[in-house]
A = this chain, B = another copy of it.
Amino acid sequence: MKPHPTLIIDALQYNNWSEQIFRQMNEGGVAAVHVTICYHEDFQEMVKNVIAWNILFERYYELIFQGRCVDDVLKAREEGRTAIIFGFQNCSPIEDDIGLVEICHQLGVRFMQLSYNNQSLLATGCYEKDDPGITRMGRQVIREMNRVGLVVDMSHSAQRSTLEAIEISERPIAITHANPLFWCDALRNKSDDVLKALAESGGMLGFSMYPHHLKDKSACLLEDFCSMIARTAEMIGVERIGIGSDLCQNQPDSVVEWMRNGTWSNERDFGEGSAELAGFPEQPKWFHGNRDFNNIFSSLRKTGFSENEVERIAGLNWLDFFKHSFGPQKT
């Protein structure tokens, strides 16, 4: 397969993985995907997810392989395959042991959210009522993540924790999948203050296509989505933005219930949903999966972005970020 004209990187997917989806990734020209391998898992449970991925890498080696660095992304693009880059949506796998940060990096993990929706040992999630910022352990762990090259991701974290993470981290951080609050008033979306601080420190924002983060949710218009991208680019610079689709393809509703509830509650938490809309929401009609990225890029061109800018948003910005983020601090 020839290299796809546009290098595409998606900074967040959590699909019900299958050969079908891997083929769609290749067909869609997706060179790399940051995939979630943890929501609530402790270290050993997370290792089981790595083992499951190792089996997929062996079985579908013609379609996918594990990505650990920028060269892997370029190789995937060259070969028409897709590099799979591991990340955590929670810090649960490092438990209370700072030594596990480097172990996770050795297993190929390249992103870790300091919290999911709730308070963690490191930071506060966006569903907590109050946010005291980065904890004592959090400060230590950010330093350790910086040292080994594990990217701080604050996609689900609350505002103060996010601003403090940006400040404390000596390396740029990422918000792999969220949208600006100015466009859609969801708890998970980010304020202008956060977006500006993120950009000023060299960090990256990945735009989410998860309906709960979109204006008009599942009915969101592609033109609206792209003009939001244009406004964000004006605010923080086109170099600081990319895609983080938050695609959850083929997942049964039991999975989103588990994401929200894990084992922490005796009550049922509906997260961004509601009792009436408890399951996964329907995707917007212009983005159902990995073959649909070109819909967005075409619309971005119509919105007025230059070819080079579209290429940046499609993947070059993430590529550059990966280059400076995935290796040890001292080289």
Contact = CB atoms under 8 A, between A and B. Distances in A.
Interface of A: 40, 42, 92, 95-99, 118-121, 124, 127-133, 135-138, 140, 143-144, 262-267
Contact of A264 (B96, B131, B133): B96
Contacts of A131: 132
Contacts of A124: 132
Main secondary structure of the interface of A (DSSP, over half): loop
Contacts of A99: 263
Contacts of A121: 118-121, 264
Contacts of A140: 264-267
A137 B261 CA distance: 10
A118 B134 CA distance: 11
Contact of A137 (B95, B119, B137, B138): B119
Q: Top 9 A-B pairs ranked by shortest CB distance?
A: A130-B132, A119-B135, A97-B263, A137-B264, A132-B132, A140-B265, A118-B136, A96-B264, A140-B266
Instruction: Give the interface centre of A42, A98, A136, A262 by most chain B CB atoms within 10 Å.
Output: A136
Contacts of A138: 119
A207 to B, nearest CB: 27
Contact of A130 (B40, B42, B133): B133
